[in-house]
Amino acid sequence: MAVEEGKEPGAVSRTNQVRPLPLRLLQLFVLFLFLCIGFSVVSLYTIRHFGIESTVTAVKSNFLPCLEELNVSLGEWIKAPVDLMHSMNDEELFWRASFVPRIKNYPFQRVPKVGFMFLTKGPLPLAPLWERFFMGHHELFSIYIHSLPSFTPNFTHDSVFHGRQIPSQVAEWGRMSMCDAERRLLANALLDINNEWFILVSESCIPLYNFSVIYNYLKNSKYSFVGSFDDLGPYGRGRYRLEMAPEVNITEWRKGAQWFEVDRKLALNIVQDTKFYRKFKEFCQPPCYVDEHYFPTMLTIEFGNSIANRSVTWVDWSRGGAHPATFGGHDITKEFLAGVLEGNCSYNDQSSTICALFARKFAPSSLQPLLSLASEVFGY
């Protein structure tokens, strides 16, 4: 059988013998071994004579961002921006300002502040009066100034207004660019998590009470102060356009002064609004003045129970015209200012005689008379 199957007895023993490595393969192995030894010697020589500092530094720098991220403290997230002149455009700014903590209780000692937002073309001629008003209350307020981009401020380093300019754009009265400027101010002020109330004032505004009175008035109020009323005449409903529907119906159309005070919740909703913004930008064109209708209408529809339907900034429309009266130095007397302070309104659903916290429009010539009477009349 073994012969017939072609298997010889000696064949099995030959297949189990170990064959020697080919000479060529052995040479390659020896060469590789010498290369490894040579590389090791060179590496040891380099480390001994040049050190390993550069190597460790390179490795460390690769992991440094991760280590820094892990070591970030809460203070890095909650501190206010030091430099207000950032490089964000409006879209980026509004997105950043819309961040809202989902947990209401703050894990740190938060002192609520008032954000004073000055909307102006250029200088603040009444700044010395405001400086006196702010004196001694630095922990309770923040200041933001939106002026023409071409304006260069010259406040001294010890002024509360120094370095408080925000990136700005041209704002035209009655146009959406004016509301853009107001939203830009709100968004920058929202970046400071300690700001709780936001007041829009102009360069012609003055405070009518000392800081403590105004701070407590806002702190204890159940409502934000936004002028909003239903004007049935040609300067109210007469400016409504049918294209505003369905977002805004004519019965929801409101009018009010652009000078407002809102809390943080309403400020966030103004900044992140896109639903009403598009409608007003497209269809509220002069003689529809968007700064008189956009915020009053939007806030009445969305947060009607949160606003007092009145402003806290006094103006005099008795002289007629498209703009309120302007008061110069010759107008400033104790009797005149006492009349400005008189009021009868609702505060927290109860009758109050303190209605206006600020007043406008005051010309630069009114500064010195105001400074001489401020302590006696206003209390600062």
Would you state the structure tokens that stand for residue 116, as one six-digit string? 């004073």
Question: Which DSSP helix (H) or strand (E) runs through 84?
Answer: none
pTM of the entire structure?
A: 0.81
Distance CA 143, CA 141 (A): 7
User: Among 357, 25, 380, 87, which Cα is nearest to 218's?
Assistant: 357
Residue-level pLDDT at 263: 98
CB 299 within 8 A of CB 289: no
Name the DSSP letter for residue 26: H
Q: By C-alpha distance, which of 31, 57, 162, 185 is closest to 116?
A: 185
pLDDT at 45: 60
User: From residue 258, how far is each of 132, 311, 376 by CA, in Å?
Assistant: 26, 9, 30
As averages over each run of 10 residues, the pLDDT of the chain (380 residues) reads 40 46 67 70 60 44 49 80 94 95 91 98 97 98 97 95 97 95 98 97 98 98 98 97 97 97 98 97 96 98 97 93 92 97 97 98 98 98
Q: What's the confidence (pLDDT) of residue 72? A: 72
The residues, any chain, with a CB within 8 Å of residue 20's CB and separated by 6 or more, are none
Checking 47-54 for CB contacts under 8 A at 24+ apart, the result is none
Amino acid (1-letter code) at residue 139: E
Q: Are the beta carbons of 124 and 130 closer than 8 angstroms? A: yes
The CA distance from 378 to 110, in Å, is 29
Report helix, strand or coil for 317.
coil
- C-alpha distances in angstroms, 123 versus 40, 144, 180, 188? 72, 13, 20, 20
